[in-house]
Structure 1
């Protein structure tokens, strides 16, 4: 979130549990098999476990995952696993308690690490840690994250900082290319090999010799993956976004009970899905609404 915070949507503006489940049923009927619940922070929803359980029960849905900050994971991990949750992505941009508290404006990193420990005992298909590298904030911790994979069977994913909700000038000052990860590994004598991971999405993955876990690189800026992007995002208030970056979005909430109307709107979003985003190119002719999204990353998920 920005430092000044964001106004929260009133309850009636947010999709209800029944709307979410019916929407996913519609998507399943269209061939969608994977669902990721993001945020904001999804574990703040008091009905998140029931949402996972009901989505997982839908015929055709093969994989359900959650992206979370991990602060409530220790309390909910067992219930989420029992509800059918397959995979976890946990946002963790630093190991330093004071730095974590500053970045999250008050968060307690011990809660997150304890949550990871609890989840690790529950045998989820995969646990991933998401680290957005930012110059002067956490780029000095790359080695710490690489070494974390020695004794922890997790996939540590380094993500390039994206200019969403930030001025271009501010973003340029804080952007760090992911070649820094390879350079750090080489400087410290860490030998790694490329590996394949199921459900890795846009991540290129590697494993250091003798380590339990692995690390991945997600680089939407330096090595765009738009050509293979197969994702649609539904916002908490019921809009479909075909591209993370652009403002273009379609209100699908009223169409959720009508499968025909729903399919037509989703197809419209797919037809308008851009070939690329401005983060990686100057050509924007395919974009209908050429303004960058007004939503912050915390409002649309990763």
Structure 2
């Protein structure tokens, strides 16, 4: 990859160059995972405030001109957006500094069985699929929906569509699914996918996250080492996961220890919410509103200037260990992963 030009690029005060734009397409979701959303009474974003496809494309084009090379579509559940295939198609045609943007997606997989071929044809390169358990009863209890078969069908469809590398995400939770970590890795290995375990973060709607109850990255690795030989894979750069070969490879497993082993020093991500708020890091309590610019007389240069100003204000780290840390008002479903 060629060097990003510093003039006009998205560079913060600490010299971090931003290349990855996470775009939330909706705050709505087809599941109600207990660690993310309440069962009822979710205050959805106002429909009139959601970015149109034209607006999403415009933001992505400006971001690409500032050095963004990858767009990851998130939610909520991005596949609930009716024109998601068109969004992918438009994003994948945007020229970045090294060619077309790479377009990826994080999804619960429920609609992949239906949409995977069209998404692949539209230019989607990769998918991350969430699957926290392989047990039907546990899945229904955890997500408040009996949809495990749809997720499994979605994983098969993603394989058939050729999305690579295929990554499966799970959040280990004490007393919930901690006994399935080895089974999840074996499930992923059998399908040529990489299992990735993510420490539970303080981004739940109910603000009941507990550091004491959270399963730490080292606990996850200890459990896996009881069944597999794990060999570290080099430097991870700006990637969030620490990756390991499983039994000498080629299979791999990743652990994202965002809380206990943060990777903020190499973070190259910026987030756009479904209602047009630019967030310079995941736990930000401040946002920059692009919506008035997009729906006013602002030029692309005006949008670019706001993006640069947003990134300049980025903090050195997420501050979870700071005494004054406050969880963001928005839950993960309204921020985008």
- TM (norm. structure 2) is 0.82
Displacement, 1:148?
Answer: 1.7
Displacement, 1:294?
Answer: 0.9
1:301 is aligned to 336
2:273 is aligned to 235
3-state SS of 1:86 partner = strand
2:105 is aligned to 66
In the alignment, the residues of structure 2 paired with residue 301 and residue 103 of structure 1 have an alpha-carbon distance, to the nearest angstrom, of 20
More moved, 192-201 vs 80-89: 192-201
In the alignment, the residues of structure 1 paired with residue 274 and residue 332 of structure 2 have an alpha-carbon distance, to the nearest angstrom, of 13
- TM (norm. structure 1) is 0.91
Deviation sequence 1:29-72 (CA, Å, 0-9, x none): 11111000000000000100000001101111431001101111
- Higher relative contact order, structure no. (Cα contacts within 8 Å, ≥ 6 residues apart): 2
1:271 is aligned to 312
Q: Which runs of 5+ in 1 are unaligned?
A: 285-289
2:117 is aligned to 78
Q: For 1:1-302, list aligned pairs within 5 A.
A: 1-60=37-96, 61-165=100-204, 170-188=209-227, 190-195=228-233, 201-209=239-247, 213-256=251-294, 258-282=299-323, 291-302=326-337
Displacement, 1:200?
Answer: 7.8
Asked if the contact 2:202/2:327 (under 8 Å) is kept, the reply is no
Deviation sequence 1:257-277 (CA, Å, 0-9, x none): 521211111111111101111
Displacement, 1:74?
Answer: 0.5
Count matched residues.
295
| RMSD, aligned α-carbons | 2.1
3-state SS of 2:186 partner = helix
Asked if the contact 1:66/1:87 (under 8 Å) is kept, the reply is yes
More moved, 139-148 vs 234-243: 139-148
Q: Which runs of 5+ in 2 are unaligned?
A: 1-36
